[in-house]
Chain A
C-alpha cells in the first residue's frame, strides 16, 4: 500500500461497551440504589477494532444491523468514548448520521444558523453560507417550518447540507444518504467524491452495495463488533454477500 497518502486516522484496539437498562427476565437483578443500577446490562459493541486510514481513501463499512458500524462511526467522531483503545486523527472527523432533528421545535432556518455556528463558522459567515446550505438541501420553501414537521428524508437532507458546508478532512457518512431521494443521493455522492479528491478521507456506512462499489476504494466488514475483513472493495463485498 505504498501509493497511499499520509495516515489520517489510526484506530488502536478499540473496545466500546454500552451500559443500558434492560427489563424482563434477563434483567431481574436485585434493586440497589447506590451500588448497582437495577437491570443494568453491558453490551459489548466493539471488540478490539484496529486499522489505519490514509489521505484520499474512501472506505466503505458494511455489516449486519447491530454489528457495531454506527458505534464505530460515533467513536471515530469522538461522540462516544471508547472503553479501551483509542482513535487518533489528523483533525476532528465530522459525522453525518440518521439521528433526529437537531432542534425539532425550531425552524429549519434557525437550525441552519445554529448548526453553522456550532460547526465553528463566524457569525459574519453564516449569512453567506446560508444560501449555499438551503440551495444544496433543496428545501427553500420549508425553511420557516419547525424541523420536527419535516419528513425523515427532508431532515437528513438539511443535516447533510449543514454538515458539508464546512470542508472536512475526515467525513463519516452513516447511512445519511439512505433516506434521501435519487437526485439528492447523486448530488451527495458527487460531493463525497470531491472531498476524497481534495485529499480527504471518507467513511461510508451503507447497506447498498451499489453505493459502496461506486464510491469506495476499500471496505471494512464488521460482524458482532469484530473486524472480519479489511481490504479492496471487490473481494470484501463478494465475501460479505457470500456469507449471508
Chain B
C-alpha cells in the first residue's frame, strides 16, 4: 500500500465522487422525486405541533386570531384613528393572517436545517426538502385560517364574489416568495447562527412596515406626503400580498394594478435566487 494513485483507481473503475453537488437540473429532478417527503413531513408537523393541546388543530387558527384580537383591541377600540379603514375587523384579520403565513415561513424556514441536524446527519436526501417542508406546513395552516377569514367577512356582510378566486394566484405567488425567503434564511443560519437571533427583529420591523393594523395608503396619502413615499413603501412585497388579498376579498377595497407586478417580480426573483443560493452550499449542510 505504498504509492497507489487512488484517484486513478477511482477513475478507472468509473466511481463518482461522494457528496459532490449535483448540477442544478439533476438536483431539482431529485427534489421532485422525493417531494412526498416534504409534503408528508409538513403534514406530520402540523399534527404534532398541536397534539398535546386540548383544542388540538384549532390552535392553528386560534393563535393568530387571538393576536389579531389584541391588536384590534388596542388600535380599533382604545386608540381609533383616521388611518384605519372601515370595517376594521376584516381589514385587520386579513392583514394578520397573510402576514402570519410569511413570518412563520421565514422563522421556521431559517431553523429548518439547524433544527433537524439529526435527520441531516443520518440520511442523505436533497436538503432543500427541509425549508420547503417548513413553508408547506404553513401553507397547510393557512387553509383553515382562510376559511375562518371567509366566515368573518360574511359576518361583516362582505359576501363572496368571483374576485375571491384571486386568492389562488395570490397564495401561489406568496408561496413562491416565502420559499425563496426560507431558502436564503436557512443557508444563512447554517453559516451564522446569530441570524436566528435577528429574525424576530426583522419580522417585527416588517410587521410595522406592512400596514397590518393601519392603512399605508391612508397614512401616506398624496397631499400630505410626496407620491414617491407611498410608491417606495409599496415596494415591500409582504405589504403587496396583504393589499392584494384585501382587494380580492373586500369589494370596496381598491388596489393599484402595479402591486400585481411588484408581487409577481418579487415572487419569481426571490424563488430563483433562493434556489440557486441554497443549492450552491448543498455540500456544507450538516457539517460541524
Contacts and interface: CB of A to CB of B under 8 A. Distances in A.
Interface of A: 6-13, 18-20, 50-52, 74, 76-81, 86-90, 92-95, 97, 99-106, 110, 113-115, 117-120, 122-123, 159, 230
B17 A20 contact: no
Given A78-B19, A118-B34, A7 B44 contact: no
Interface stretch (B1-9, B90-98, B225-233, B247-255): B1-9
A94 B125 CA distance: 11
Contact of B15 (A9, A79, A104, A123): A9
A20 B288 contact: yes
A210 B179 CA distance: 51
Interface stretch (B115-123, B138-146, B211-219, B257-265): B115-123
Given A7-B10, A89-B18, 11 more contacts: A8-B15, A9-B15, A12-B6, A79-B121, A79-B122, A79-B124, A88-B18, A118-B125, A120-B34, A123-B36, A230-B1
B123 A99 contact: no
A110 B34 contact: no
Contacts of B284: 81
Given A115-B123, A119-B123, A80 B6 contact: no
Contacts of B7: 10, 12, 86, 88
B52 to A, nearest CB: 9
A199 to B, nearest CB: 14
Interface residues of B, number: 35
Given A50-B6, A120-B34, A95 B13 contact: no
Given A19-B288, A88-B16, A120-B34, A102 B119 contact: yes
Contacts of B9: 7, 10, 52
A95 B119 contact: no
Contacts of A12: 6-7, 10
B10 A106 contact: no
Contacts of A103: 41, 44, 116, 118-119
A38 to B, nearest CB: 12
Given A80-B286, A81-B287, A120-B33, A102 B122 contact: yes
A89 B2 CA distance: 21
Contact of A76 (B18, B34, B40, B125): B18
A99 to B, nearest CB: 5
